A and B are shown apart, each in its own frame.
Chain A
Amino acid sequence: MNGRIVHIASNTFREAVRDRVLYNLIAFCLLLSAAAILVGQISIDIEKLVVINLGLTAVSLFGIVIAIFIGIGLVSKEIEKRTLYTVLSRPVRRWEFIVGKFFGLAGTLVVNTFFMAIGVFAALLYVAHHFHKPDAWILVALYFIVLQFLIICALALLFSSFSSPLLSAVFAFSLFVIGSFAEDLRGFAGMAHGLSRWLATGAAYLVPNFSALNVIGSVAHEHPVAGPLIFYNTAYALTYAAVALCGAVLIFEHRDLK
């Protein structure tokens, strides 16, 4: 990776930390601690399941909210503060700016997820007293969540490159919701005929498939995740994020910044 991208990425990461993004970890810790202590008292026999499901769901949702709300401001904030002109007046290409921003935000989310993962395993140790071998699959679920973040970051940047922050947030969140229904969309395409079938199939492939990247329920029940699924999900998420990032670069490259 070239030095300029690394520089922009590290600045984006520093800016996110300065914006107190990592404060969400406090809320996350409180949530998990409360769940780990309380669930045993108000329910029956699901302490471990709750810690895994709640922990991973919180990691996913907190991260998606951060990805969307930081991602949508990455470009527009720089334009608003006029810092973008300073950056682009140096020998920095527009695509390097976008790619650097993407890696900076992705890095922030990876660090955030790392600390949250420690929290999940600590809570798990508290309720179960020891780890089992199948608990290692939780790491795969966390990895898939990070892959989701990559897609969301790229989409947020794509929308941010041509739209206002508010609209970008709406678009990115809508795509997340639709992407969660990707399997239903495919099912609908299977039932439809003619043009509707083509349109539904097109839409099913156009929106990101988040349901394939969600194995939380499966790992909570200690079911293993197939190796080929890990490989294809990785390839899919990277490819889709690359598509969205290319879109963002293309739009930003031709955007009139005057």
Chain B
Amino acid sequence: MMTASRRTTTVASLLLVGCMLAAVILLRRVDQMRTTATLDEVLYITSPKALKRLSLGYEGLVAEIYWTRAVQYFGTKHYQHTQHYDLLATLLEITTALDPQLLVAYQFGANFLAPPPPHGAGMPEKAIQLMEYGIRNNPNDWHLYYDLGFIYYMDKRDYAGAVGAFERGSRVPGAHPFMKVLAAQMAQHAGELQTARMLWLTTYQTTQDKQIRANAVAHLRALQVDEDVATLQRAVTRYGEKTAHLPPSFSAMVAAGVLSRIPIDPDGHTYKLMPNGLVVVRMPDDFPFIEKGLPPDYQPPPLPKLPVSD
């Protein structure tokens, strides 16, 4: 026979579990009805100064919360292939105002802001502002000058700006000796593939961060593909001029003497020659940053496939 106390305990326990389950189910139904409600699009306090005061001296922790929010915001938008990152610059501005020494927010944040969609927010001006703010607060960190020059070069195509940033960085005590070389190289050979390769190679060599290294490797591979495709495309044109028709295969091009050997991509696959003479890569998903050799009507995956760097 169950005592009254035990009965109450049993009923209350069952009710507790049952009601909790019901609450979860009901909330899921509510969420299904609010599919367009996106909480991450709301930024209630946009003033870094106000947030600094509200944090009661614990700005470091609040900055990290905002940095995590910026990462999540960018990741979600990136996954959705969106063209608009309306809150990204503000989130980064708040993060760095709360903790001006949070270097990761400048380095990654500028990388989120600068590249054109779908790889970034397409806001190189904001990225430059962010980096300049970072440099003002951390003038002795040469990496920030390097990243600034990188944005000027890659995303703004402003070679004079890039030279200026590398030169400023090279004057920082303890700066990587390559900064001087980069500044000189940039001044003489701006816009050349070789310069871009040198930049990515320096990025790879001067960081320990696995994600940055993977990104650098992906860009170096893409540069290789771009160079190969450009060479092959020139060979196709030469073949056309020589024989008055399009080449049927790369072997035919080698036989005609317009190509010394059949090139392969960084993964060891041969390139594909389309009937219309266009040269494309066989696995475009493996080369997320290529500008040449993409098959017509190619749709990139939601997230770029980055190679393993180490």
Q: Mark B79-103, 1 if CB is under 8 A from A, else 0.
A: 0000000000000000000010110
Determine the chain A residues whose CB is within 8 A of the CB of B104 once the complex forms. Answer: 44-46
A184 to B54, CA, bound (A): 12
Are A180 and B68 in contact, CB atoms less than 8 angstroms apart? no
Are A211 and B53 in contact, CB atoms less than 8 angstroms apart? no
B270 at the interface (CB under 8 A from A): no
Chain B interface main SS type = helix
Are A43 and B71 in contact, CB atoms less than 8 angstroms apart? yes
B109 CB, min distance to chain A CBs, angstroms = 10
- Segment touching B, from A2-10, A89-97, A116-124, A212-220: A212-220
Determine the chain B residues whose CB is within 8 A of the CB of A49 once the complex forms. Answer: 60, 64, 102
Interface residues on A, range: 20 to 34
Task: Please provide the chain B residues from 23 to 78 with a CB less than 8 Å away from any CB of chain A in the complex.
Answer: 53, 56-61, 64, 67-68, 71-72
Given contacts A57-B58, A217-B59, contact A46 B102 (CB under 8 A): yes
Are A46 and B60 in contact, CB atoms less than 8 angstroms apart? no
Contact of B68 among A39, A181, A184 (CB under 8 A): A39
Given contacts A53-B60, A53-B61, A217-B59, contact A43 B68 (CB under 8 A): yes
A77 at the interface (CB under 8 A from B): no
Are A180 and B56 in contact, CB atoms less than 8 angstroms apart? yes
Are A44 and B71 in contact, CB atoms less than 8 angstroms apart? yes
A210 at the interface (CB under 8 A from B): yes
Are B64 and A214 in contact, CB atoms less than 8 angstroms apart? no
A211 to B101, CA, bound (A): 18
CB-CB nearest in chain A for B99: A217
A209 CB, min distance to chain B CBs, angstroms = 11
CB-CB nearest in chain A for B109: A44
A50 at the interface (CB under 8 A from B): yes
Given contacts A50-B64, A221-B101, contact A45 B57 (CB under 8 A): no
Determine the chain A residues whose CB is within 8 A of the CB of B57 once the complex forms. Answer: 180, 210-211, 214, 216
A221 to B58, CA, bound (A): 14
Are B108 and A45 in contact, CB atoms less than 8 angstroms apart? yes
Between B58, B61, B101, B108, the greatest number of chain A beta carbons within 10 A of the residue's beta carbon is seen for B61
Are B61 and A54 in contact, CB atoms less than 8 angstroms apart? yes
Are A53 and B58 in contact, CB atoms less than 8 angstroms apart? yes
A57 to B71, CA, bound (A): 22
Chain A interface main SS type = helix
Between B58, B59, B104, the greatest number of chain A beta carbons within 10 A of the residue's beta carbon is seen for B58
Task: Please provide the chain A residues from 148 to 193 with a CB less than 8 Å away from any CB of chain B in the complex.
Answer: 177, 180-181, 184
B212 CB, min distance to chain A CBs, angstroms = 10
Are A53 and B68 in contact, CB atoms less than 8 angstroms apart? no
Task: Please provide the chain A residues from 48 to 75 with a CB less than 8 Å away from any CB of chain B in the complex.
Answer: 49-50, 52-54, 57, 60-61
Are A216 and B68 in contact, CB atoms less than 8 angstroms apart? no
B209 at the interface (CB under 8 A from A): yes
A94 to B65, CA, bound (A): 47
Q: Mark A19-62, 1 if CB is under 8 A from B, else 0.
A: 00000000000000000000100111110011011100100110
Are B58 and A46 in contact, CB atoms less than 8 angstroms apart? no
Are A43 and B53 in contact, CB atoms less than 8 angstroms apart? no
B211 at the interface (CB under 8 A from A): yes
Between B59, B60, B101, B104, the greatest number of chain A beta carbons within 10 A of the residue's beta carbon is seen for B60
Between A53, A217, A220, A221, the greatest number of chain B beta carbons within 10 A of the residue's beta carbon is seen for A217
Are B61 and A46 in contact, CB atoms less than 8 angstroms apart? no
Are A46 and B56 in contact, CB atoms less than 8 angstroms apart? no
Determine the chain A residues whose CB is within 8 A of the CB of B64 once the complex forms. Answer: 39, 43, 46, 49-50, 53-54
A248 to B35, CA, bound (A): 58
B167 CB, min distance to chain A CBs, angstroms = 27
Are A57 and B61 in contact, CB atoms less than 8 angstroms apart? yes
Q: Mark A88-120, 1 if CB is under 8 A from B, else 0.
A: 000000000000000000000000000000000
Are A45 and B209 in contact, CB atoms less than 8 angstroms apart? yes
A42 to B211, CA, bound (A): 14
A216 to B55, CA, bound (A): 13
A203 CB, min distance to chain B CBs, angstroms = 17
A33 to B232, CA, bound (A): 55
A106 CB, min distance to chain B CBs, angstroms = 21
Q: Mark A201-245, 1 if CB is under 8 A from B, else 0.
A: 000000000110010110011000000000000000000000000
Contact of B58 among A50, A177, A181, A216 (CB under 8 A): A216
A180 to B104, CA, bound (A): 27
Contact of B53 among A44, A181, A221 (CB under 8 A): A181
A60 to B101, CA, bound (A): 22
B77 CB, min distance to chain A CBs, angstroms = 15
Give me 16 other A-B pairs in contact (C-beta within 8 A), A46-B104, A49-B60, A216-B60 excluded. A39-B68, A42-B71, A43-B64, A43-B72, A45-B104, A46-B67, A49-B102, A50-B64, A53-B60, A57-B58, A57-B61, A177-B56, A184-B53, A216-B58, A217-B59, A217-B60
Nearest 5 CB-CB pairs, A to B? A217-B60, A43-B68, A53-B60, A45-B104, A53-B61
20 intermolecular pairs with C-beta atoms under 8 Å apart: A43-B64, A43-B71, A44-B67, A44-B71, A44-B104, A44-B108, A45-B104, A46-B64, A46-B68, A53-B60, A53-B64, A54-B61, A57-B60, A57-B61, A60-B58, A61-B58, A181-B53, A211-B57, A214-B58, A217-B59
